[in-house]
Amino acid sequence: MNPTMTRLPEEEHPNKAFGWAARDSYGVLSPFKFSRRATGEKDVAFKVLYCGICHSDLHMAKNEWGTSIYPLVPGHEIAGEVTEVGSEVQKFKVGDRVGVGCLVGSCRSCDSCKDNLENYCPKMVLTYGAKYYDGTITYGGYSDTMVADEHFIVRIPDNMPLDAAAPLLCAGITVYSPLRYYELDRPSLHIGVVGLGGLGHVAVKFAKAMGVKVTVISTSPNKKKEALENLGADSFLVSRDQDQLQGAIGTLDGIIDTVSAQHPVLPLLALLKSHGKLVLLGAPEKPLELPVFPLIQGRKVIGGSLIGGMKETQEMIDFAAKHDVKPDIEVIAMDYVNTAMERLLKADVKYRFVIDIGNTLKIPS
């Protein structure tokens, strides 16, 4: 699909907004004036205070997945404070601390939606770069305001800082959901986490909060101290060290694989016990080779997972607040965003950039 340019008639969207947008596949972001829809009966409008930078923001800004619609305002890790609610809104009031994650719409009637799994709805509407029901294009959280149906709003507990909450709305639910669904959340289990980046470091924190024994699996030996001392992992495995791999064969009940680069899964399958589960969260550009014999011989399972539904996302943020699970973040100013994108491309961040929208997004007079 070729990227297309879409502009909205101003008179249909009276809520003026300001943010930063990419205009083309070069992916450079710059100031952008636009309009949000008027707050509907079931809508919640809020002032955006923080927005995390997800790796998918980089892909979308550069149209690397071929689906980007320009101008594109990225951001689906959005936290802020309610400024207006529609007449039929029941769960939120002005002043509440809230957030929006990766989706702002779904059909609400399919089997997935009925099971509180709006994230698997065939008609799911993404928070930015997607067509909304009224035909307009959704704009994300690199902006001063946000409007969404109350069903897709998450309440952020008072003891959870908004800057730390923001990345949990994507990275947090992306690792929390598979830990729960694949039943890798029991204290008697021993799991592996592959990759120690934005997703991986949060996976370690959630798993430890659930009482699970955790081994971090990484290609980088220099991440051992960070994994063990700062993140609280129980052990560390260098995936390029054959002796270490050999010594760990058959020791893990499950593996959460967060790596999106091309990598072999055969060594990971060998680390699993019989009936073990390898859960893939990263999306490599090329298909992975799938060796079948290791699956047959140990009745092992390879699965996947994509964010989570709204009920589970609320459960995740409540769990994080209760157990003090917070991502490691670097808070940046809005005008630093292009530099942050360049650093993200080099994996030069520990472990998630968060834009201080409330204090640094300057609206031109």
Q: What is the pLDDT of residues 77-128, one digit of tens each?
A: 999 999 999 999 999 999 999 999 999 999 999 999 999 999 999 999 999 9
pLDDT above 90 for 338: yes
Q: What is the pLDDT of residues 158-206, one digit of tens each?
A: 999 999 999 999 999 999 999 999 999 999 999 999 999 999 999 999 9
pLDDT of the residue at 365: 67
CA-based torsion, 51, 194, 189, 351: positive or negative: negative
Q: For residues 178 and 154, is the Cβ–Cβ distance under 8 A? A: no
| Mean pLDDT over the full length of the chain | 93
**What does the DSSP assignment read for 159-197?**
TS-HHHHHHIIIIIHHHHHHHHHTT---TT-EEEEE--S
pLDDT of the residue at 285: 78
Q: For residues 214 and 191, is the Cβ–Cβ distance under 8 A? A: yes
CA-based torsion, 202, 261, 127, 179: positive or negative: negative
pLDDT of the residue at 57: 96
pTM for the model:
0.93
pLDDT band at 353 (very low <50, low <70, confident <90, very high): very high
Note every long-range contact of 104-109, with CB atoms under 8 Å and residues 24 or more positions apart, other chains counting.
Answer: 104/132, 104/138, 104/148, 104/149, 104/152, 105/132, 105/133, 105/149, 105/152, 108/151
Give mean pLDDT, residues 214-226: 94
pLDDT above 90 for 67: yes
pLDDT above 90 for 9: no
Give mean pLDDT, residues 13-37: 92
pLDDT band at 260 (very low <50, low <70, confident <90, very high): confident
pLDDT band at 14 (very low <50, low <70, confident <90, very high): low
